[in-house]
Amino acid sequence: MLNKNIETFLGCDNEYGESDIVVFGAPFDSTTSFRPGTRFASRTMRGESYGLETYSPYQDKDLEDLAVFDGGDLELCFGDTEKVLAAIESYTTRVLRDNKRPVMIGGEHLVTLGAVRAVARKYPELYVVHFDAHADLRDDYLGITLSHATVLHRVWDIIGDGRIYQFGIRSGERSEFQWGQDHVTTQKFNFKGLAEVVEKLQGKPVYFTLDLDVLDPSVFPGTGTPEPGGVSFMELLEAIQTVSQLNLVGCDINELSPVYDQSGASTAVACKVLRELLLAMA
Ligand SMILES: [Mn+2]
């Protein structure tokens, strides 16, 4: 028997039933404020992931030893953000019900809201760790409340004060930072204090959302709103390994926009970050 041509992310070819982690794509970029294109991230990453090894010399772990299922991309409708979020929520709910951990590939950052809706229902005591260049704390963006620029405010609507820890933030309106002071914990520019947060949240359920634009644009130019002054790949890798000491009940990586990645280097970075995140979660 010959096998069908099914392209999964590197090393994520386990069956659903035997998997602990479920990778899936949410190819949505309709609220992107500046340069769209993140809808192509997951499929591009699957193809390009084969340029990587499954083995990580950083962690001395191999994707081949993990039970990861790649569910492909959700088929999301165009033009109705609530319907898109409901589809992401429903898929995430199914994964959680089967006692597996969802790892979503965005898409723009708003996709996080759909996943958090599901995760917070299962884990009402949920905390969120958020790496990003942007605060994403606006209450609305040009009158729209569901936007990639408001996503962490919408997450706050669900989980409330003192539950969101942001790192690497270097862009936002003054009012976002002021609002944030009363409601979330924001570490600007870098990962200082991350180890202490991880210590404090031991045993708590944590959702980890990683906007790849936390990286410096010299490392990761292929994104919709590049923001100079970001962290290096090695700083991010170390931070991911620190975060992985938490009880991670769900994760996402988002905002790769392959159309702005002429060299392919940003996609390679995103693939390597996902490999290391999966290995760290194991
Ligand atoms: Mn961002």
Instruction: List pLDDT tens digits, range 202-255.
Output: 999 999 999 999 999 999 999 999 999 999 999 999 999 999 999 999 999 999
Interval between CA 237 and ligand 1 midpoint (Å): 18
In whole angstroms, give the CA distance from residue 54 to residue 69: 15
User: Across residues 16-41, what is the average pLDDT?
Assistant: 94
Interval between CA 132 and ligand 1 midpoint (Å): 5
Interval between CA 3 and ligand 1 midpoint (Å): 39
pLDDT of residue 33: 79
Tens of pLDDT, residue by residue over 34-50, are 888 999 999 999 999 99
Q: How far are the Cα atoms of 70, 136, 155, 163 from residue 201, in angstroms, in the given order?
A: 29, 22, 18, 10
Interval between CA 109 and ligand 1 midpoint (Å): 7
Model confidence at 6, pLDDT cuts 50, 70, 90, reads confident
Tens of pLDDT, residue by residue over 97-149, are 999 999 999 999 999 999 999 999 999 999 999 999 999 999 999 999 999 99
Interval between CA 2 and ligand 1 midpoint (Å): 43
Interval between CA 222 and ligand 1 midpoint (Å): 12
Q: Which two tokens stand for residue 278?
A: 């999966």
Using CB atoms within 10 A of its CB, is residue 171 exposed (0-12), middle (13-18) or buried (19+)? middle
Q: How far are the Cα atoms of 76, 173, 221 from residue 154, in angstroms, in the given order?
A: 20, 17, 27
Closest CA to 236 of 132, 109, 145: 132
User: Across residues 65-76, what is the average pLDDT?
Assistant: 97
pTM (predicted TM-score): 0.97
Q: Which two tokens stand for residue 110?
A: 């708003």
The domain 21-281 having CATH identifier 3.40.800.10: the answer here is: yes
Interval between CA 42 and ligand 1 midpoint (Å): 17
Interval between CA 4 and ligand 1 midpoint (Å): 37
Domain boundaries, the chain: 21-281
Closest CA to 129 of 212, 232, 205: 205
Give backbone dihedrals phi and psi of 102, rounded to 5 degrees, phi first. -80, 140
